[in-house]
Amino acid sequence: MAVTVFIPTALRQFTGERAEIAVEARTVGEALDKVTGEHTELRRHLYGEQDKLRNFVNIYVNDEDIRATQRLETPVKEGDTISIVPAIAGGAATEEKVQGGSAVKTEAASLPTLSNEEIARYSRHLIMPEVGMEGQRRLKAARVLMIGTGGLGAPTGMYLAAAGVGTLGVVDFDVVDASNLQRQIVHGTKDVGRPKIESARDRLNDINPNVKIEAYETRLTSENALELFRDYDMVVDGTDNFPTRYLVNDACVLAGKPNVYGSIFRFEGQASVFWAAKGACYRCLYPEPPPVGLVPSCAEGGVLGVLPGIVGAIQANEAIKLILGGGEPLINRLLLFDAWKLRFRELKLRKDPACPVCGENPTIKGLIDYEEFCGLRPAPAQGAAADKTEETRQMEEITASELKQRLDRGDDLQIIDVREPNEYEIARIPGSKLIPLGQVVNRQDEIEQERETVVHCKGGVRSARAIEALTRSGFKGRLVNLKGGITAWSNDVDPGVPKY
């Protein structure tokens, strides 16, 4: 049976950038075996110990999750599509359309009134029977908390403010950087260097002075999340990292709040509504995060500027529907969007009875250390071996300044750049050799093992992965990671090297 396996953008570096691979197979497992047999590095990212699929990788046949069928033994027929859906930085659900009901609990008689100015402003809403006066008053009564004012938070906040959501809470602690302006449309050139929370507040107030902006210039943590979430009707997740994404999910489940989810990478996006009271949560979809560095951030992998605008607008749309209590919210549905092909796909989600936070017997009853959960902070080692364990875990690093000093005194070093060719065209360290991360294992014979090798990328994440891959493959030479990558070189050694 000829079936097509769809490869997500984040994993195409291991398939020679192939997005679709046709194979002859009778089952899902057989199809994946053929694909990963040809692309062996891909297999390591899909399968873990005992050759089991990793928990942060989901497989769908057409729109059905194989966890709900026969898993890898799920049969496939001619023309079926198999989609690999990894995390990108998850009573059982039915196939019926889920009517969410309004997330705003205020009784109709107690809803705030609209002034004549507001009636004129929202007139295009008011003449729609799906919104009307009561719906607009519900929007005015609503309290929505947005986590982040970046790529996703920018359009989401702007549309929610324009729609007349009465109170917008905004959580952010970053400052506006010039590289943000390609997509974070709530900020402008004049805002570079300003706290994002201030820039966003000014812009949202300008869009609609009737909206109350409650700004929280702080990092979302396990210590403050439940308190922040308590007084809001829902949370819009505009985060860009896995620890915060799991934190938002767990806090929403514990607080009983809908989680309006969105994520982006390069030209692909995802959106859903995770509301444990009515269906699946994020952990039902992705029980565990991917290993550190497996999924590049937007800073490492890039993002098409308009993509967060599209996905953020979808998040705003879902939030508005939840407030109005109408339409068909993305509960128990995962929407996939490919901006490059302009293609939408939808996958079904199911509540996992064994989910540790929203399942039948939850084991997570409070917020945990999400940095440790996502592998960004090692768990404390036990006993006298703790110091030795930590020592063996460290990867050898060199700073940009130290590298420059060693090059100036003539040390015999080779510099391997594991970024992509288009990045190499933007900026490069003199004398470096380009071997992209996805090719580094197969091209290791181009790296002289008798020489000390400094490996670098943009910020140090991909180069660390390259060193790990080379070490696993048996490379015997000395490998050193450039701390901070070429960005640190530009900051500390040669400002003439462009930053991107």
Residue positions annotated with a catalytic role: 298, 457
Amino acid identity at 409: R
Q: How far apart are CA 328 and CA 130, in angstroms?
A: 12
9 neighbors 341 (Cβ within 8 angstroms) = no
Joined together, the tokens standing for residue 460 give 């140090």
Q: How many CB atoms lie within 10 A of CB 268?
A: 22
- From the centroid of its chain, how far is CA 274? 15
451 neighbors 413 (Cβ within 8 angstroms) = yes
Place of tokens 């899902």: 28
Q: How far apart are CA 48 and CA 55, in angstroms?
A: 9
Q: ∠ at Cα 428 (451, 413), nearest 5°? A: 15
Q: How far apart are CA 195 and CA 200, in angstroms?
A: 9
Q: How far apart are CA 496 and CA 486, in angstroms?
A: 12
Q: How far is CA 328 from CA 125, 127, 324, 465, 489, in A?
A: 18, 21, 11, 42, 50
Q: How far apart are CA 304 and CA 121, in angstroms?
A: 32
Q: At what angle do helices 196-207 and 153-163 cross, to 10 degrees?
A: 30
Q: Nearest-CA neighbor of 454 among 492, 404, 494?
A: 404
Length of the chain in residues, anyone? 500
Classified as helix, coil or strand, 249 is: helix
Place of tokens 């089991």: 52
Burial of residue 170, with CB atoms counted within 10 A of its CB: 0-12 exposed, 13-18 middle, 19 or more buried: buried
Q: Which residues of 186-218 are buried (b: 16+ CB within 10 A; e: fewer)?
A: bbeeebeeebbbbbbbbbbeebbebbebebbee
